[in-house]
Amino acid sequence: HADLAKAMSKQRARFFFDKRTKPLREVRAPFAFAIDADRIATQFASSFGLTPERPLTPTRLEALAECRVHGFMQHVLKVDVEAPAGNAADARVLGTLAHAVMERFFTERKAAHVPAARITDADRDRVRALVAEEAAAVVATGHLAAIRAQVQWLETALVRAVSMLARAPRVDGVEPNDFEVRIGVPDRSGTPAALASAPIELGDGRTLYLGGIIDRVDEGPRARAVVDYKTASTGSIRRM
């Protein structure tokens, strides 16, 4: 194995550093494009939802569907493919802030038995206060004016979102009941999810596991609704 590895290393170096390297379609060598299928399957099984500990999530499915190369680089090889945030806040940070604010806001309303259809100026002020609390650590980084502008945008978008959810709910007769429901996905501390990954038999001896995090589950006597918050580039919060 040592001799084989050494030979492959030499071929790889010759391919990348020899100025006379041929185009890929013309490469003819003992180890060109050789892969160990079993090793690849074992190494990346968790990235494709083939293990219950790391199920395939909607975010990963969406990324792979939009662009297989981009999705593979980001979610399988773990390459940071996002554009540098520069002086502004990272889009992922803003998304985390939005989820934190919405979870706290609706959890408080549930504890106070506030109907989903009721929204007042005091409720909107509470959203603004929660944004200020959650964003305090972010505002202290980067270019102050740029980040404050982004936080202001987030505040406006979230106030608009809670108003829209109260005025035009996706499903009538339901109330927010559960928040940040984890399916097969542990939290940041490593605590296992309350719900196990959903297995799907592929018919070839393999099992695909699906999971993820549901932002909010609304329930009523006759219906149940799943609410997913998405930060959109148009300056609003989409809900699905």
Neighbours of 173 (CB within 10 A): 13
Mean predicted lDDT score pLDDT of the chain: 82
Task: Say how far apart CA 222 and CA 42 lie, in whole Å.
Answer: 44
136 vs 21 pLDDT, higher one: 136
Which pair of tokens denotes residue 94? 């803003």
pLDDT tens digits, 151-192: 888 999 999 999 988 988 878 889 999 999 999 988 878 888
Q: Are strands 175-183 and 212-219 parallel, antiparallel or unpaired?
A: antiparallel
Which pair of tokens denotes residue 76? 């399988």
Tokens 């290393």 belong to residue: 9
Is the Cα torsion angle 64, 67, 68, 69 positive or negative in sign?
Answer: negative
Per-residue model confidence (pLDDT) at position 83: 62
Per-residue model confidence (pLDDT) at position 197: 94
Question: In which band, very low, low, confident or very high, does the pLDDT at 233 lie, cut at 50, 70 and 90?
Answer: very low
